[in-house]
A and B are shown apart, each in its own frame.
Chain A
Amino acid sequence: MIRYSFITILLLLAAFVVQQFLPAFTGLHHSRILLVQLVFLCCAVTVGQPTMLLLAFMGGFLWDAQCALGPHGGDPEVYTQQVENLRFGYSILLFGGMGVLMQGIQPLFKQGKWHFSALLTGIAVLLYLAAEYTIINFIRGEFVLNPATMRQMAWTAFLTMLFSPLVFWMLFRVANLCDHSINPEAGRKRRRPR
């Protein structure tokens, strides 16, 4: 269990590295594969709450370190209505929220129905992007939502979801290597004599 949790942390860190190699698909409304969020979501459904929260903190913290913009700069007398930055650390709460959502269907995952979790990763990513965009609108004012942004969010969620079976497969392999069962009820059902 400890070994498995430790590996999930390493996987999340590795996802940050791989994310650097994944550019936006300009032909698909600038959508992208959010590998960091995907690995976190898949791990969140396979671990206990304390580990999930640790992963959420790390994921959100590093994601903000990667994406935060600098201060506005310039003369405030000329730029009187400066565009606000999102506060560093907001992603920690978003990651935590997504993790809680994933843990909600942990009983199904433990029964071996990982497909639901795979589907939920897409929904969670969509909700994550929608929440992030809403926060941007809330902080900067003037609610703007155009079809292009909606398409960008939908495609990003869809593309990310497509890769969730791969991440789940990897997590099953890691769990086997660590002698740890991430869906014990499914294992018991398989072993039960007919």
Chain B
Amino acid sequence: MKPLNLIALLLFLGGAVWALTRSERTVREIQNAYYQAITPFLKSGSQLETRARLFTKETRHSKELEAELEATREQLGRLKLIEARFRELEYENVQLRHALDFKQTTRFDVVAARVIRRNPTTWWQTVEIDAGSKHGIGTQLAVLSNEGLVGKIDRVDNSGDRASVLLLTDEKCQVSARVEGSPEVGILSGQRGGFDGDPMLRLRFLSPNAAVRNGQRVFSTGRGGIFQPNILLGTIHSVEKGALDSEALVRPSVNFADLGAVFVVLSADS
């Protein structure tokens, strides 16, 4: 081997080891610098993607109608969320008044955002939204749609008007979940390589004789510090019982193929 090649190889290996031993914080700083550098291109890239998507829709609707519909959907979704939350609070309030005479104050503040980019990476199931730190968004916040839980914020750009959402269908997005009408609780997550067709979620660590049946709804428990309680996650599709624990396949309540407007929950429930 030529001396120059040997030196280059040693430098390459040294550089690789250096990169592999970076801390989580340094990696985040590197990522922020990278995204800051390509932000102007990302903006035009996502604009192009949004335009292309709108163009296909325009075969059925005019542009004005489309924008109006989108705004109405956004508003409807927001109102549905608020309504659901109020109903839940009302019920909770009545229960608490009767049982404990306990008064609870709850803040539920959401920011509406549009999905501007889908699946930018090969293996992770993520989308990018057009809201960021300028709107008060930080990492590890729950993201909802009017149908249920979408995922959580994974990264916020330094530019302040973009953020990346790790979808519930990704294996890395884990949610503490409970099955409606049963004492069963488990951890819900996406499946590896589940891109094609209808994505299914895995509800693991249920008890061996879990009394759950198809069609039962699955909600978040609120444990774990990221997701608020009672967010709809999906419905039980099938149950597989094991010797030590049971596992259920859950059909997500959100249609991830048609994600348009989402809501980031800013304030955690107390």
Contacts and interface: CB of A to CB of B under 8 A. Distances in A.
A96 B176 contact: no
B15 A16 contact: no
B140 interface: yes
Contacts of A64: 19
A149 to B, nearest CB: 4
Contact of A20 (B31, B45, B140): B45
B152 interface: yes
Contacts of B154: 69-70
Contacts of A170: none
- Which of A20, A34, A87, A144 is the most central at the interface, judged by chain B CB atoms within 10 Å of its CB? A20
B197 interface: yes
Interface stretch (A2-10, A24-32, A110-118, A183-191): A24-32
Contacts of B41: 17, 20-21
A193 interface: no
Interface in B95-129: 117-124, 126
B140 A73 contact: yes
B118 A24 contact: yes
B91 to A, nearest CB: 25
B123 A136 contact: yes
Q: Is the interface of B mostly helix, strand, loop or mixed?
A: mixed
Contact of B187 (A81, A136, A152): A81
Contacts of B172: 69, 72, 83, 85
A24 B19 CA distance: 28
Given A72-B172, A89-B20, A32 B122 contact: yes
Contacts of A172: none
Contacts of B118: 23-24
A64 to B, nearest CB: 7
Nearest to A30: B195
Interface residues of A, number: 61
Interface stretch (A38-46, A47-55, A161-169, A174-182): A47-55
Nearest to A85: B172
B41 to A, nearest CB: 5
Contacts of B55: none
Given A21-B45, A83-B174, A152-B196, 13 more contacts: A23-B118, A53-B12, A56-B12, A57-B16, A65-B30, A70-B154, A73-B139, A79-B174, A88-B20, A132-B122, A136-B192, A140-B192, A142-B192
A29 B196 contact: yes
